[in-house]
Amino acid sequence: MTVYDLVQACRRQWIVLPVGLALTFLISWLGITPPAVYYSQANIVLFVPVSTRYPNSLEASSGSLTVLAGNLQQEINRSDRNFAAASTSVTLVDQGEYRRTLVRVPDTGGQWAHNFPQPVLDVQVTGQDPAFVKTEMQSCINRITDLLMAKQIDAKVAQRNLIRARVSPPNPAVYRMSGDPKAAGAIGAVIGLTLTLVSATLLDRVRTRVRQR
């Protein structure tokens, strides 16, 4: 189909144009003014207690700490399933999750194997209200630290042998994630105009065939 044919089809099916242009404007407007999404992230690192054998708790680590971190993740998440991402840098916002709390042990393994190098819990929270995100983040941190302590108390671990948890950063910030409104609006305009032209062309072909019959 030539440009001339396309113009003639749009002229004959002119009723499609105002509807398509109105929808195009709406799509572009929604892209330019997306809903606010707020995001916060913190790491909870597990440490062995300082002792003669482990004078520096920052350097002392073991597989058992990583297993404990995984156990905490499962109990906090319960039935909330975490989907594996291609990279540990993929956030909830990247996955299109705009109101959710995520707790995971970062997996740096590839396609064929898992690898959990550090006893760290990655905590992420998204929401459409910054106060909610901040409150939910602190609540989740409290649940994790309380669960860690409760497990050790139930196991009757001596005070000097208690595993500790530290939050990094101590006061997780809340960020507004806005993306690129201009690019979203431009893409919406292109999609809307394309669908309008395609709809006019298809409708013109259908009506032409009906008349021929």
pLDDT of residue 50: 66
Of the two residues 69 and 204, the one the predictor is more confident about is 69
Dihedral over alpha carbons 70, 76, 80, 83 (to 10 degrees): -30
What's the whole-model pTM score? 0.66
Domain boundaries, the chain: 37-177
CATH annotation of 37-177: 3.30.70
The answer to whether the beta carbons of residues 28 and 118 sit under 8 Å apart is no
Q: What is the pLDDT of residues 146-175, one digit of tens each?
A: 999 999 989 888 888 888 899 999 999 999
